[in-house]
Amino acid sequence: MCGIVGYIGNKNAYPIIINGLKRLEYRGYDSAGFIVNAGKFVHTKTKGKVSDLEEKASEEASQSIESCYGMGHTRWATHGVPNNVNSHPHLSNSGKIAIVHNGIIENYLSIKRRLQQEGFTFHSDTDTEVLVNFIEFLKDKEQVPLETAVRYALNEVIGAYAIAVMEEANPTKMVVARLGSPLVVGIGEGEFFIASDASPFIEYTQNALYLEDGEMAVIKLNQPIDVRKIHNNEEVTPSVQELKLSLDAIEKGGYEHFMIKEIFEQPQSIQDTMRGRLLEDFSTKLSGIENNLKQFLSAERIIIVACGTSWHAGQVGEYLLEELARIPVEVEYASEFRYRNPVIHPGDIVIAISQSGETADTLAALKLAKEKGAFIYGICNVVGSSIARLTDSGTYTHAGPEIGVASTKAFTTQLTVLTLLALHLGYRKGTLDHHSYKKLCQQLSHIPELVAQTLEMTKDKVIEIAQEYKDVNNCIYLGRGLNFPVALEGALKLKEISYIHAEGYPAAEMKHGPIALIDENMPVVFLAPSKGHYEKVVSNAQEIKARKGKIIAIVTQGDKQMTDIADHSLEIPEVDELFSPILSVIPLQLLSYHIAIMRGCNVDQPRNLAKSVTVE
């Protein structure tokens, strides 16, 4: 959520900031702004897109924006509606200190009242304006440098934040800090970059410092970065990482949208995720498991915590782990898990799934589980992310950057890791015999090519179906067994990017309520691959047909029975039931994409959504 970009160096900061903000648009936002400092602050901010910000800056060209120091922000509204005034950056009452901020300051109101008693006035509805004035108040009161005032202020606030702060009198210095919201510093030759993730600066440097929770850094031109603990000012030795990220990976590469590019990248991203983990002799190698084998073999329970699409992947993981490893699994919404008093035993394993590795609720759930003595295992896509650093062990999905807000390749690579995990644990526990293990590993090795076949088989036909159903108001998705979570995921995709109300259900639950909604205007999407509960799903489809519902069926190639019942069918290659979710979700992703395009929706940046939800 939100995006921060900053620069201190010898280049013109403005184009770096603007291009960086464009790279962060996928995070979701409703307004944007920038500020540069050449001995005097010059800033522009506006409700709307980064392109609107550029236009407004051009109109205000009477003020020079040539400067080597500055920062920018894209805002996703929390405190205060989206408008020009509430947009970032925010200035202190004197106009001498500027801030950009991601997150929420929970005790901002009490601080605001305190500052009002001291004579401060406020122009916006934001907690951020309160924070920058609090910093100014402490700086003047204590007669301390900016970085000390920032540290004093942050020790009194409650909430989550990533901030960058500049003062007009010291243009070559910037103070940054984080707690619960990501912030990374790119370190170049005589220059520094600040961003919410590394994408804004990868063409300039591959060296990055990820601030840990509770850390702040003072960045000065031509000086080493100074990193310290916020609570006690203890110096921290910076740990600089070399990024493995290319500029090509975050560009559209000839596709109209990032989402469709990422859908078609799935054969490669799944192959990359399996590489080094599914071996040529059809065995699995997961060092994150092997290095902690005792914990996994003795675990009496696994708890999976996640949000959104990752929660759906966790639901599939429950089926896989219980089937192959025979370990009881519970799948929890991280946002609910953290706010009740869950029963967690020291021998439990908690698996966190998150594309970004920064999801606030999932992070909080992990911290709770860790306090109670559970072993924490992470599945995420972003190297160096907060979840990756917090966990005891884990496995990265190698999906590559996912820019589209609606997750596609993140989901299938998460399923790939969960499948590898279940196979490995099942074999090591002895609940999966040698022959079955080898056979399943061999079949898994073919999944990337089967995903490619699925894309080829469905890419044209799905457009015809989308054309027929683009104007519906509601849709139901039904599946059973391993494909019930896929029904949930398909419904979520349609909701997210086309704004059509859709719900996913277990197919057998249809008659316990949702069947009342069925008429000739209600499309019903059935997940009906031939392996698993096929006959039961066919019976459910007959019940829909008898009530004049319109049926779109995802079926195994060559299917006759379900195809004859359905109004439309989309075929996937034949595959073992355990692997069918990775294939069956592909047509649903394509269907959602094309319906959204036909409705004129912004598929890469759906309204009100953010890619990385770093606030509650």
Quick: pLDDT tens for 427-446.
999 999 999 999 999 999 99
pLDDT of 249 > 80? The answer is no
For residue 549, what are the domain limits? 452-616
**Could you give the residue ranges of the DSSP H alpha helices within 143-187?**
146-154
Residue 315: phi and psi, rounded to 5, are -60, -45
* pLDDT band with cut points at 50, 70 and 90 for residue 27: low
Tokens of 422: 């279940």
- In a shared domain, residues 221 and 319: no
The Cβ of residue 112 has, within 10 Å, a number of other Cβ atoms equal to: 19
Q: Which residues pair with 110 in a beta bridge?
A: none
Tokens of 389: 């650093």
d(CA 9, CA 109): 37
Q: Which residues pair with 394 in a beta bridge?
A: 378
- In a shared domain, residues 361 and 438: yes
- In a shared domain, residues 402 and 468: no
| Nearest alpha carbon to residue 187 among 222, 212, 146 | 222
Q: Is 97 exposed, middle or buried (0-12, 13-18, 19+ CB in 10 A)?
A: buried
From 2, 380, 441, 601, the catalytic residue: 2
DSSP code at position 79: S
pLDDT of 271 > 90? The answer is yes
Q: Is 269 within 8 Å of 263 (Cβ atoms)?
A: no
Q: Is there a catalytic annotation at residue 229?
A: no
pLDDT of 610 > 60? The answer is no
Higher pLDDT, 363 or 28: 363
Instruction: Give the side-chain half-sphere CA count within 13 A for 484.
Output: 15
Q: Which residues pair with 160 in a beta bridge?
A: 104
Domain boundary among 184, 217, 248: 248
* pLDDT value, residue 390: 84
Q: Is 463 in a helix, a strand, or coil?
A: helix
pLDDT of 451 > 90? The answer is yes
* pLDDT value, residue 558: 93
**Degrees to nearest 5, angle at CA 83 with 80 and 85:** 80
pLDDT of 613 > 70? The answer is no
pLDDT tens string 165-217:
999 999 999 999 998 788 999 999 999 999 988 888 988 999 999 998 899 99
* pLDDT value, residue 521: 83
* pLDDT value, residue 110: 95
**Could you give the residue ranges of the DSSP H alpha helices within 165-248?**
none
- In a shared domain, residues 35 and 177: yes
* pLDDT value, residue 32: 92
Range 444-460 average pLDDT: 96
Is residue 159 within a helix (H) or strand (E), and if so which, with residue range? strand 159-167
* pLDDT value, residue 607: 76
d(CA 487, CA 490): 5
- In a shared domain, residues 378 and 456: no
* pLDDT value, residue 85: 84
The Cβ of residue 326 has, within 10 Å, a number of other Cβ atoms equal to: 13
- In a shared domain, residues 432 and 502: no
* pLDDT value, residue 581: 96
* pLDDT band with cut points at 50, 70 and 90 for residue 364: confident
Q: Is 445 exposed, middle or buried (0-12, 13-18, 19+ CB in 10 A)?
A: middle
* pLDDT value, residue 516: 73
* pLDDT value, residue 73: 93
From 22, 47, 139, 611, the catalytic residue: 611
- In a shared domain, residues 462 and 335: no
Residues whose CB is less than 8 angstroms from the CB of residue 276 and which lie 6 or more positions away in sequence, other chains included:
285
Peptide bond into 89 cis (omega under 30): yes
**Degrees to nearest 5, angle at CA 104 with 99 and 106:** 120
pLDDT of 236 > 80? The answer is yes
Q: What mean pLDDT, rounded, does the chain reach?
A: 90
Residues whose CB is less than 8 angstroms from the CB of residue 420 and which lie 6 or more positions away in sequence, other chains included:
274, 277, 278, 284, 286, 395, 444
d(CA 58, CA 154): 36
Tokens of 154: 């942050």
Beta strand spans in 56-156 (E): 69-75, 90-91, 97-105
* pLDDT band with cut points at 50, 70 and 90 for residue 28: low
* pLDDT value, residue 258: 87
pLDDT-above-90 percentage for the chain: 65
pLDDT of 520 > 90? The answer is no
d(CA 423, CA 419): 6
pLDDT of 246 > 80? The answer is no
pLDDT tens string 130-147:
999 999 999 999 999 999
Provide the domain count of the chain.
Answer: 3
* pLDDT value, residue 62: 53
Read off the CATH number of the domain in which 321 is found: 3.40.50.10490
- In a shared domain, residues 231 and 371: no
d(CA 14, CA 35): 8
Q: Is there a catalytic annotation at residue 475?
A: no
Tokens of 305: 């915590």
Please give the span between the terminal C-alpha atoms of the chain, in angstroms, as a whole number: 11
Tokens of 454: 């699925």
* pLDDT value, residue 113: 96
The Cβ of residue 475 has, within 10 Å, a number of other Cβ atoms equal to: 25
pLDDT tens string 368-387:
888 888 999 999 988 777 88
Tokens of 7: 């620069």
d(CA 39, CA 42): 10
| Nearest alpha carbon to residue 410 among 459, 363, 354 | 354
d(CA 351, CA 576): 25
* pLDDT value, residue 589: 97
d(CA 380, CA 314): 12
Q: Is 276 in a helix, a strand, or coil?
A: coil
Domain boundary among 424, 445, 466: 445
Cα 121 off chain centre by: 37
d(CA 364, CA 269): 29
pLDDT of 583 > 60? The answer is yes
* pLDDT value, residue 512: 80
Q: How far is CA 236 from CA 228, 233, 486, in A?
A: 5, 9, 45
**Could you give the residue ranges of the DSSP H alpha helices within 118-218?**
127-142, 146-154
* pLDDT band with cut points at 50, 70 and 90 for residue 250: low
Instruction: Give the side-chain half-sphere CA count within 13 A for 40.
Output: 5
- In a shared domain, residues 223 and 303: no
Domain boundary among 412, 445, 478: 445
Range 45-71 average pLDDT: 84
d(CA 237, CA 182): 19
Range 381-397 average pLDDT: 84
- In a shared domain, residues 535 and 615: yes
Tokens of 298: 């003795």
- In a shared domain, residues 215 and 277: no
Read off the CATH number of the domain in which 107 is found: 3.60.20.10
- In a shared domain, residues 437 and 456: no
Q: Which residues pair with 332 in a beta bridge?
A: 305
pLDDT of 25 > 90? The answer is no
